[in-house]
Structure 1
Amino acid sequence: MKDELLDAHRMGKLMLFVGAGVSANLGLPTWNALIAHIAEELGYDPKIFATYGTPLALAEFYKKQKGGLGPLRSWMDREWHKPTTNISMSDIHRLITQGNFSRIYTTNYDRWLEYAHDAFGVKYHKVASVADLASVIDGRRQIIKFHGDFDADDSIVLDETSYFQRLNFDTPLDIKLRNDVLGSSVLFIGYSLNDLNIRLLFYRLTEMWGRSTLASARPRSYIFTNRPNPVAQEILSHWGIQMIVSEEDDPEKALTEFLQELVT
């Protein structure tokens, strides 16, 4: 592991960005399961429905047909938070709570990061809206729900319209991200290198630094993966993001071992 990454973590200068891969280790439903549920609710054959558009477009269609995402959000909330899931048994979530991260950004809607902090006795402040920003307590870890939260339907970035609005990067949470990222390195975990949304975020981060008078002093950022990808590695390096690749094939074991080395 790079000394710069270890130093940034030790000094509290490392922000964590948590993606769907972290929640997937808990056995949460996949995008395919979500689209199949949408199809069944709307009376379509799931296999045929899946060919009608991207997941974002299909969610947009559901929203238009149902007049909102409320019923779908309620189903997701139930399916994503099964009472049989014991978050205290997740080594990945335990290690995240133990890390020296003043801010944890996540594009996940679920509450498992919050539940993990509750289970392991780590105080935090959840930020999902402007109102949340007004009540942040100095010195307490922040969990920023960058793509929304199940507690508020209108905050969730799931359909095509909300996704396109998210890409504008001009909301209060985006302004907060710009401020936060200028003083810290960023570590991305649980993301696919082929995820267009996260690649756009990488680009936006580079843009943010490029407009800063401190561009030459930009801290290095990192993405952890257990899948070598020389194309992504070359492109991301130009954006100031270094890939850390594990030789472990199992993604859950790879991330667990990486976090163990980072935080202990």
Structure 2
Amino acid sequence: MSGHVFVVGADLRRLVCDDVLVPTDRALRVTAGWRELLPSELVTSEDSDGLCLDLRWNGEQRVLEVPGDASPRLWLVDTVDGADREPDSDGTLPWLLDGARQALAAVARREVRRPVHGRARRLVALPALGTGWGGAAGRRGTLLQQLLPVLREAAGEHGFDVALVLRGPSDLAAAQRVRRGEEDGWHLPGHLRELAEDLGERARRGQLAAFVGAGVSAAAGLPTWEQLLDELAERSGLDDALRAGLTRLPAQDAAALLARELGREQLEAFVKERFGPGRYALAHALLADLPVQELVTTNYDPLVELAAADIGRELSVLPFDDAVPGRPWLLKLHGDAAHPESVVLTREEYLQFGDSRAALAGVLHSLLLTRHVLFVGTSMQDDDLIRIAHQVRSAIPSPGTEPRRRSGTVLTLREDPARARLWEQDVETVAMAPADTQPAEAARLLEVVLDLIVCLSTPPTGYLLDPAYRGLLNDEERALAEALGEVERAMPARASTSATGEVAALLRRLGSRTCAEEQAPADGATDRVDDRLQRQRPG
């Protein structure tokens, strides 16, 4: 079966995947950003520009597997040597594309029995090869136009999934424009394609909010509710009879017993360690790429905010951070591992939620009344969700004979008609696959749907003023870019009035490099999140 090509804004060093293609040259030098993924014993020298590896090419080969058992597996790809010989020639891009083909073929020859964290297909991730030290930095638009078909060809031939990982907003906007012109980029049933088109349009218009459940973080190796209870039971030291009895208790009551056995201090230490910073899943990155301003989660982990920070979107994490006008936010409905005292886990804490944490529930009330909420990774069995949905339903006047307005869409993995009927007054439930489908296959199909939603909702103008994408523009867009270029050149070095600031913000959204240079780099958001999380780590 054919694999799928995802385009995602993320940091390759944090994305959960099986294989990563790393650009290098004939001297086996890589940029400093790859340092944390490479075995220390392979690094022979390093400076501010990069580091050299103690490996050897075999003749004219262009792909080299990094030895070791680390995950993800790294593959070095020469993207510089041929570009250096003729950096501006028409032969540069074909040379780079051939390197991508060779690398993906080499990856396919390595057998993988079980993809990472039980994913249905192996996931191979790569950056836009050749846009750093290679010869395609000034021709990024043309590269993306030609690279995406090469990736689709490899995914079709080898059967694995490919993630083209980009960090710049211009890169993402340009790549999504290329994909929107493809007829066969997504192999989805008609009803799922129509769903993605509807949700993509809602997101583009600012009408969509997102709810992230535990199923999303399970793809990053974090435990579901049942697995969490098993891990706590293992740590508690309960005898076999009591551990067997836990399975017969409601989940919140089992958690209460385990919390009492462990003690609150040990429980909080466990949550802080188990759900601390780590690599995020593809679905985290796709959700962070959505142009939504409001997100809600019952998860304790920081993976959504890390994924957002890696593309320059710093989320205010409520209720721990101050809400900043114009900045997107993420509400941690059941607490945050960085603040383990806030975690809602036991029956008593769930009961207290309705009283002491009513203001947090009110935020979700508001979203259900004013936005269309996309629920991902939740079974809709959480007591707080049920209570909130009932309160919203009670607040909306009965429409009489007309169908009640639904407040959101729940994306489930497999068909469950009874649960869909239970929630039909409040939300539309859409299953990815029939009930007999393997959960991993259904979860992968959910990723493909999210990928299409992101593509359709990405603003189509983020590269208009970036000269590296001039080849993507039609005549009308090229004339507009030239006119806006006059405005760009007239901008002062620093905005001193609100009007100038507004125009500068618009030019940045259209891909202006000049205005972007006046702002903090995208990595700054990641650094701030990293600093905050580092201060909160144990020890």
Q: TM-score range by the shorter chain?
A: 0.7 to 0.9
1:71 matched to 2:271: no
**What is the 5 A alignment of 1:247-262?**
247=433, 249=438, 250-262=441-453
- What is the RMSD of the two structures over their aligned residues, measured on CA atoms? 2.9
Letter in 2 for 1:15: A
* CA distance in structure 1 between the aligned counterparts of 2:359 and 2:285, rounded to whole angstroms: 29
1:137 offset after TM fit, Å?
0.8
Counterpart of 1:12? 206
* CA offset digits 1:96-146 (Å, max 9, x no partner): 1110211000000111111111222212111035xx4xx211111111001
User: Kindly tell me: are residues 30 and 261 of structure 1, through their superposed partners in 2, closer, same or farther at Cα, counting changes over 3 Å?
Assistant: same
Paired residue for 2:279, among 82, 86, 91? 86
Structure scoring higher RCO (CA < 8 A, sep ≥ 6) equals 1
Paired residue for 2:360, among 157, 170, 173? 173
Deviates more, 1:17-26 or 1:253-262: 253-262
User: Kindly tell me: are residues 187 and 208 of structure 1, through their superposed partners in 2, closer, same or farther at Cα, counting changes over 3 Å?
Assistant: farther
- Percent pairwise identity: 26
1:154 matched to 2:319: no
1:149 offset after TM fit, Å?
0.9
> Is contact 2:406-2:425 (8 Å) kept?
no
User: Kindly tell me: are residues 19 and 30 of structure 1, through their superposed partners in 2, closer, same or farther at Cα, counting changes over 3 Å?
Assistant: closer
Counterpart of 1:242? 428
Letter in 2 for 1:158: L
Letter in 1 for 2:225: W
User: Kindly tell me: are residues 195 and 182 of structure 1, through their superposed partners in 2, closer, same or farther at Cα, counting changes over 3 Å?
Assistant: closer
Counterpart of 2:32? none
Counterpart of 2:409? 222
Letter in 2 for 1:233: A
> Is contact 2:411-2:429 (8 Å) kept?
yes
- The secondary structure found in structure 2 opposite 1:226 is strand
Paired residue for 2:374, among 187, 200, 217? 187
> Is contact 2:279-2:303 (8 Å) kept?
no
> Is contact 1:209-1:218 (8 Å) kept?
no
* CA distance in structure 1 between the aligned counterparts of 2:285 and 2:384, rounded to whole angstroms: 27
Counterpart of 2:230? 36
Paired residue for 1:205, among 389, 392, 398? 392
Runs (4+) of structure 1 moved beyond 6 Å? none
Counterpart of 1:232? 419
Paired residue for 2:257, among 54, 61, 72? 61
Unaligned runs of 5+ in 1: none
- The secondary structure found in structure 2 opposite 1:223 is strand
TM-score computed with the length of structure 2 as normaliser: 0.43
* CA distance in structure 2 between the aligned counterparts of 1:47 and 1:141, rounded to whole angstroms: 48
1:209 offset after TM fit, Å?
3.2
Counterpart of 1:109? 300
* CA offset digits 1:43-100 (Å, max 9, x no partner): 31357424243332232223334552x3222223222347xx533xx32122111102
TM-score computed with the length of structure 1 as normaliser: 0.82
> Is contact 1:102-1:140 (8 Å) kept?
yes
* CA offset digits 1:13-67 (Å, max 9, x no partner): 1110110000001111343443334334433135742424333223222333455
Letter in 1 for 2:300: Y
Deviates more, 1:44-53 or 1:54-63: 44-53
Unaligned runs of 5+ in 2: 1-193, 456-539
User: Kindly tell me: are residues 227 and 195 of structure 1, through their superposed partners in 2, closer, same or farther at Cα, counting changes over 3 Å?
Assistant: farther
* CA distance in structure 1 between the aligned counterparts of 2:220 and 2:241, rounded to whole angstroms: 25
User: Kindly tell me: are residues 169 and 91 of structure 1, through their superposed partners in 2, closer, same or farther at Cα, counting changes over 3 Å?
Assistant: same
- The secondary structure found in structure 2 opposite 1:182 is helix
User: Kindly tell me: are residues 219 and 38 of structure 1, through their superposed partners in 2, closer, same or farther at Cα, counting changes over 3 Å?
Assistant: closer
Counterpart of 2:499? none
User: Kindly tell me: are residues 119 and 231 of structure 1, through their superposed partners in 2, closer, same or farther at Cα, counting changes over 3 Å?
Assistant: same
* CA distance in structure 1 between the aligned counterparts of 2:271 and 2:359, rounded to whole angstroms: 26
> Is contact 2:412-2:430 (8 Å) kept?
yes
Counterpart of 1:140? 327
* CA distance in structure 1 between the aligned counterparts of 2:229 and 2:199, rounded to whole angstroms: 38
Letter in 2 for 1:100: P
> Is contact 2:413-2:443 (8 Å) kept?
no
Deviates more, 1:247-256 or 1:224-233: 247-256
Letter in 1 for 2:428: Q
> Is contact 2:215-2:224 (8 Å) kept?
no
* CA distance in structure 2 between the aligned counterparts of 1:218 and 1:30, rounded to whole angstroms: 31
Structure with greater Cα Rg: 2
> Is contact 2:365-2:388 (8 Å) kept?
no
* CA distance in structure 1 between the aligned counterparts of 2:356 and 2:206, rounded to whole angstroms: 26
User: Kindly tell me: are residues 66 and 186 of structure 1, through their superposed partners in 2, closer, same or farther at Cα, counting changes over 3 Å?
Assistant: same
Counterpart of 2:288? 97
